[in-house]
Chains A and B, each alone.
Chain A
Amino acid sequence: MDGYERVFDDRTPGVEDYEPTASYLSYTVGLGLAIVATIASFVVSQTDLLWAPGIPVGLLVLAIAQIGVHLVFFLHLGSGSESTNNILALAFGVIIVFLVIGGSIWIIANLNENTMPSADVLNMRQ
Chain B
Amino acid sequence: MTVATVETRPTAVSATLASELTVGKRTAGGPSPKRTVVAYGFWIFILSDMVMFAALFAAYAVMAGNTAGGPTGAQLFNLRSVFIETMCLLLSSYTCGLGALSAERRNSALFFLFAALTFVLGAVFLLIEGTEFAGMVARGAGPERSAFLSSFFTLVGTHGAHVSIGLVWLVYLAAQVKTKGLRPAVLRRLLCWSLFWHALDIVWVGVLTLVYLMGVT
- A residues contacting B by CB (< 8 A) are 1-2, 4-6, 8-15, 17-20, 22-24, 27-28, 30-31, 34-35, 38, 41-42, 44-46, 55-56, 59-60, 62-63, 66-67, 70-71, 74-75, 80-82, 85-86, 89-90, 92-93, 96-97, 100-101, 103-105, 108
How many B residues have CB within 8 A of the partner chain? Answer: 70
CB nearest neighbor in B for A86: B43
CB nearest neighbor in A for B44: A89
- B residues contacting A by CB (< 8 A) are 1-2, 5-6, 9-10, 13, 17-19, 21-22, 25-27, 30-36, 39-40, 43-44, 47-48, 50-51, 54-55, 57-59, 61-62, 79, 83, 86-87, 90-91, 93-94, 97-98, 100-101, 104-105, 181, 183-184, 187-188, 195, 198-199, 201-202, 205-206, 208-210, 213-214, 216-217
Instruction: Find out whether the CB atom of B59 lies under 8 angstroms from the CB atom of A19.
Output: no
Instruction: Find out whether the CB atom of A82 lies under 8 angstroms from the CB atom of B32.
Output: yes
Q: Which residues of B contact A12 (CB under 8 A)?
A: 27, 30-33
Instruction: Find out whether the CB atom of B59 lies under 8 angstroms from the CB atom of A104.
Output: yes
Cα distance A97–B199 in the bound complex, in angstroms: 14
Q: Which residues of B contact A66 (CB under 8 A)?
A: 205
Cα distance A92–B54 in the bound complex, in angstroms: 13
Instruction: Find out whether the CB atom of B32 lies under 8 angstroms from the CB atom of A5.
Output: no
| 11 pairs, A vs B, C-beta closer than 8 Å | A4-B5, A6-B183, A38-B87, A38-B208, A41-B208, A44-B213, A67-B202, A75-B199, A86-B43, A90-B47, A105-B58
CB nearest neighbor in B for A50: B217
Picked from A10, A56, A70, A81, the residue with its CB within 8 Å of the CB of B35 is A10
Cα distance A13–B30 in the bound complex, in angstroms: 7
The answer to whether residues A5 and B184 also contact, given A41-B208, A63-B209, A81-B26 and a CB cut-off of 8 A, is: yes
Instruction: Find out whether the CB atom of A70 lies under 8 angstroms from the CB atom of B93.
Output: yes
